[in-house]
Structure 1
Amino acid sequence: MTAATPTARRAPGSLAGRIVVWAVFAVLFAYMTVQSVGNLVTVSQSVRAFNEFLGTASGGSTLTRDTPWVWLVLDIAIAPVAFVVALWASRRARLAVTIGIFVLAFAAAGALWLDLQLFVPRLLDF
């Protein structure tokens, strides 16, 4: 750095505010991830029970379903990926911009997450 290069100093409150935003959204994204893991467990158990039931029926093996692992894993990955992208995008932003980026990331992740939460059971259509 030369003497002509200006240096920007952040206010200490700005960093504390950003840490609060990061923590709040970390909890929200963690909740979304936990719900996705619950969905994975529930759907995989339902598919397994359905297939076991069909195994006892005459000719039921033709109706068995596969667990949609790709969609379930994608459902789990949405929230952590959105959080990391928002964290990366807001790493040097002001507090107001950081809040906006995280709200946008949470809305986008929530829309995708909810679509998958509703789409996966439709794939099975018991």
Structure 2
Amino acid sequence: MTAATPTVRRPSGAFVGKLVVWVVFALLFAYMTVQSIGNLVTVSQSVRAFNAFLGTTSGGNSLARSTPWAWLVLDIAIAPVAFAVALWVSRRARLAVTVGVFVLAFAAAGALWLDLQLFVPRLLDF
């Protein structure tokens, strides 16, 4: 081997395994984010339609609801933040630890996400 010959580093099995974990959980967290965006669209349209209906009735303005934007935005932010934290925590860990961290992050994000998915409609109660 001469000094002019470049060395080619091949990825190790552990790196390929971590890459697979990252891609799989990125897809799962992306699905969670898309569902949250759909919830934001659906809830905001429902609130707008409800308030428009109340505007057509006499005295209905006192029943008007506002869209819970803070909760809906938090619902969208849960998955990307959980993925970023899991990626940061497991960046130098072994493959088994990486899998455990991502499973824990997905479970925690899923619990919080589902709780908000059920909580937001109860805020509105129409």
Q: TM-score, normalised by structure 2?
A: 0.91
| Aligned positions of 1:80-95 closer than 5 A | 80-95=80-95
Query: Any idea what SS the aligned residue of 2:93 has?
Result: coil
Matched residue, 1:32? 32
| Aligned positions of 1:56-67 closer than 5 A | 56-67=56-67
Rounded to whole Å, the distance in 2 between the matches of 1:91 and 1:44 is 38
Unaligned runs of 5+ in 2: 1-10
Shift of 1:102: 0.0
- How many residue pairs align between the two structures? 116
Rounded to whole Å, the distance in 2 between the matches of 1:115 and 1:29 is 16
Query: Any idea what SS the aligned residue of 1:19 has?
Result: helix
Q: How far does the alpha carbon of each residue in 1:16-72 deviate from its partner, in whole angstroms, 9 at most, with x for none?
A: 000000000000000000000000000000000000000000000000000000000
Rounded to whole Å, the distance in 2 between the matches of 1:82 and 1:90 is 12
Matched residue, 1:103? 103
Rounded to whole Å, the distance in 2 between the matches of 1:40 and 1:56 is 25
Shift of 1:109: 0.1
| Aligned positions of 1:1-126 closer than 5 A | 12-126=12-126
Rounded to whole Å, the distance in 1 between the matches of 2:124 and 2:109 is 23
Name the aligned partner's letter for residue 61 of structure 2. Answer: S
Name the aligned partner's letter for residue 83 of structure 2. Answer: F
Rounded to whole Å, the distance in 2 between the matches of 1:54 and 1:38 is 24
Q: How far does the alpha carbon of each residue in 1:54-97 deviate from its partner, in whole angstroms, 9 at most, with x for none?
A: 00000000000000000000000000000000000000000000
Shift of 1:107: 0.1
Rounded to whole Å, the distance in 2 between the matches of 1:115 and 1:57 is 34
